[in-house]
Structure formats: C-alpha cells, structure tokens
Amino acid sequence: MDVAIVGSGPTGAAYARVLSELRPDLELVSFEAGPLLADPPGLHVKNIADAEERAAAQRRSEGLVASDSEDRRLRRAGTHLLPDGFQQPGEDGIPSLAMSSNVGGMGAHWTAACPRPGDSEVIGFIDNLDELLDEAERLLGVSTHAFDGAPFADEVRARLGRAFDDSRPTGRKVQPMPLAVQTRDDGRVTWSGSDVVYGDATRSNPRHSLFPEAQVRVLRLEDGCVSGVVVRDLQDGTEHYVAAGQVVVAADAVRTPQLLWASGIRPRALGRYLNDQSQVIFAARLRDVVAADAAEGKASGKPRIARQSGVSWVPFTDAEPFHGQVMQLDASPVPLAPDDVVEPGSIVGLGWFCAKDLQETDRLEFDDEQTDAYGMPAIRVHYTLTDRDLAALEQARQTVRKAAEALGEPLDADPITLPPGASLHYQGTARMGATDDGTSVCDPLSRVWGVDGLRVAGNGLIPTSTACNPTLTSVALAVAGARDIASTYPKQEGTLP
C-alpha cells in the first residue's frame, strides 16, 4: 500500500481526494473505526430525509459505550462524550468533550460553517494559505449564496452591520456565513459531508479502498520511518498488519495524539496546547420586519428557504476576539405565548465563540496502564480558563447582548455560557510549527517531526488561537500535505503517469 489514511472525516477525505486527482497511480486505503451510515460514504445526516433513519444514523455514530444520561453533561446527537477523566481537581476541565465515530466523522453532523481565519487567527508561517483555503472551499463545496432567498436575512445583516461595522476593517465586517451547503431550485438544501470532499474522483478511483469499523490500533516503525499500521476489524475482532509507504493520521484532535502516543511517538508538544472555544448563546426576535419582507420576497422572486434560514457571520478581530454565528430559525428556542405566531426566519439564534489563551499545560494526558472502550490509552484532560479567558467570555456576553438588542427583542434575561467542550472545535493537540523547537508536533507540510513517512491531519494541527470554525483551515492544511505526497512520492515502473 502506498498511502494509508486513518480517519474518514473531512481532512482524511481531502487526502484521498487530492491524491486521487494528482496521483491516480497510488494505492490508497482509508480506515475508519466507526460504521458506514449511508450511501454515498460520508453523507451528512441532515441529507437523510427520513427522520427515523436520520436518528438511527446519529445513534450509530455514538461510539461503543452507551451514554450515561445521569451525569447531566451536555450531549449532542451523533457524538459520544469522553466517559471520564474530563476534569481534574481544581481545574475547569472539558466536561462536554465529544467525538463522533462513523464514516465521515464529525463532518456527518457539523453545521457546515466555513469562515476564513483573520488577524491573529491566521497561521503566519504558511505563505500560500489563501490559495490553500481556496482549494479547501472547492473540496467542501463552500458558498456564500446558499441562503440568498432566506426571509429577513438581508435585514439581519443590515442591523448587525449598523451595530458592528464602523470599527471593523474591510473583509471583517458583517457578512453571509460561508457554508458548505448547496441550495436547489426548489429551496431544498444539501449539506456537505465527507462525501462531497471525496467527490467522484475518489469514488471512481479503483486504487482507493475505504474500510469502516476498522480501528487502527498502532503505527509500526522501522529505523525512524513509519512502515505500516495494525488494524483491528471491529466486526470479528481480528487484527491485520497493512504495510504502507506513507501514513496519514486524521482521527480527530483527541484520537490522533492518542494513536501516536500508543505507537510510542511522543514529541513534547503531543496532546498539549489544547484549545476549546468557549461559547455563549442568546436568542432574539426581529421587530418590525414582516411587512417589509413580504414585499421584498414578492419583488425578488427568490424561493423561500424552509427550516433553518439565513446564517450570518460577525468575524473575529483582535479587538473583539470572538466569532459570531447568527442563525435564523423557524421556531423559538424558548417558549412563547400559546397563540403567538412565529414568522419563519424571525427568531434568531446567536452563538459567540471565544479564542483561547493558549497554554502548554492545557493538555490531554494518556495512561499507559488503563485503556478506554477501544483498547487505547485512557485520556485525562487538564484544562483551565485564565483571567484573559474569563475577560473574553464577559466581553462576549456583552457583545452578544448588543447584537440581540440591535436585532430586536432578546428572548431570555441573559446570555447562556455553555459548558466547556460544547463548541466541538478542539484544536492544538498535534499542532503545526515552523521549526522543531518542542512546541509543535509537525512541520508546515504536516510531517511529524523525526518520523519519516508519517503525517497528521485535522483540527488538532491548528497552532493559533482561533474563534472561527476550524474545518476550512484544517482541510486547507490537508491539501498542502497531500500535494507534497503527490509531488515527492516515487512513481513505480508500469503505473499510470
């Protein structure tokens, strides 16, 4: 095997796609510990029309151990929580640290938001980052026009713009959220999952194979070079060794460092600089919009978007170190009067994500004696919020209230601060660096320092303190790594050009 890819989320799929396009001569294999949910592989569960089938797919993504509903931690459908070790005495911990185990990974369940990083979020040592982000948008199918016909969307952005734009530079003003979503002529929407990233190039590639319920247990090394992977078939319990010239570990920000640790690959930064974006939510009801929107919709002739409507974006800036995701809804998240009629799109949910004050001590610790349900080293989380983090959270609460009041009537007394882990945007645990100075796990081409033939992928690579959704950036980094394999991996005689 030329390239073995561990994980089938958006970044693992990006490696398979780019290599299928640029090097169709290579033998590729992808391993996924979780089950296949739907056809095509990696389909976003929101695209499953039948509600019972969709719920069943979500349940199948929730790991090997049934969730304990008694501990009252925040749970999201399609994910499973770290069962224990999520909080140490005297620390904040990450109680809602969650993963998804299925073909497509978290990409089968995500909100599909793909904002670009700005200001200090940007990884400064990658010179061609903008071009890589362009390519990531192509692979994910990103659009800023998915909800052009959403009721009140223009008015939402106009009101937010009046409240925020004067102090913001060009490019960081209020705007439509870039989304990995496509809207059909009849108003139905299709959400991108790993199926979109794989694309026809991967699905039609006879040299690529995808194996679900195949857990990579350890990476094998010979003389400082990766030689292959040991895979457990979770259906029958058998183990198999698969030799590979290159291995890409794209498991997620928790299980990628866990697998490296289990394989004896333990650079100092592995699991450290853990970044979870603290999240504040609020809701508002638009005022004085029904008549105006009806006239606008009739004049434009645009189809009205059903269910979740417009999504707007208040970008991160260094002066306001958080990122706002503003989603219009057809139903109120809090009870209204029984006879109150909710106009579609007039209820607005606001989510503010805060950038973390990065610390080496915020980390995942792996146990060489105790194991988890998959037989891998058990994880303990060390994580604290600093004074800067608490100040940013307070600023976010004030700013999200300002946004709600600019839109109309807040629907609750105060914004809600969600428990740590609710963002699902964990980063930093396999972080990228410009030099091998002990503060990073891999180089700018995702190559693990000191181990030839091994690369890592996923949100864990992002080394900066970000507030924006990380998937677009992670896929961009995967593109760079896949291109490097394509350009440097030797061609064999008698293979395709």
Contact between residue 366 and residue 377 where contact means Cβ atoms under 8 Å apart = yes
Q: Residue 423, SS3?
A: coil
User: Distance from CA of residue 282 to its chain's centroid?
Assistant: 22
Query: Which neighbouring-strand residues pair with 446?
Result: none
Cβ contacts of residue 276 below 8 Å, gap of 6+? 94, 97, 356, 383, 420, 421, 423, 425, 426
CA distances from 31 to 26, 103, 197 (A): 16, 9, 16
Residues paired with residue 31 on neighbouring β-strands, in sequence order:
6, 211
The dihedral region occupied by 152, where left means phi > 0, alpha psi between -120 and 50, and beta the remainder, is left
Query: 437, exposed or middle or buried, with CB in 10 Å at 0-12, 13-18, 19+?
Result: exposed
Burial 56-92 (b: 16+ CB within 10 A, else e): ebbebbbbeeeeeeeeebebbebbbbbeebbbeeeeb
Task: Give the residue from 269, 272, 273, 271 showing the smallest Cα distance to 439.
Answer: 269
Which structure tokens are listed for 149? 């016909």
Q: DSSP characters for 431-488?
A: -B-SS-SSS-SB-TT-BBTT-BTEEE-SGGG--S---S-SHHHHHHHHHHHHHHHHHH
> Does residue 44 carry a catalytic annotation?
no
Q: Which of 455, 478, 483 is nearest to 140 (CA)?
A: 478
- Helix, strand, coil in percent for the chain, rounding step 5: 25, 25, 50
Kindly give, in sequence order, each residue whose CB lies less than 8 Å from that of residue 90, ignoring residues fewer than 6 positions away: none
Of 44, 80, 109, 425, which residue is the catalytic one? Answer: 425
Identity of the amino acid at 344: P
Cβ neighbors of 339 (< 8 A, separation 6 or more) are none
- Give catalytic residues, as residue numbers: 425
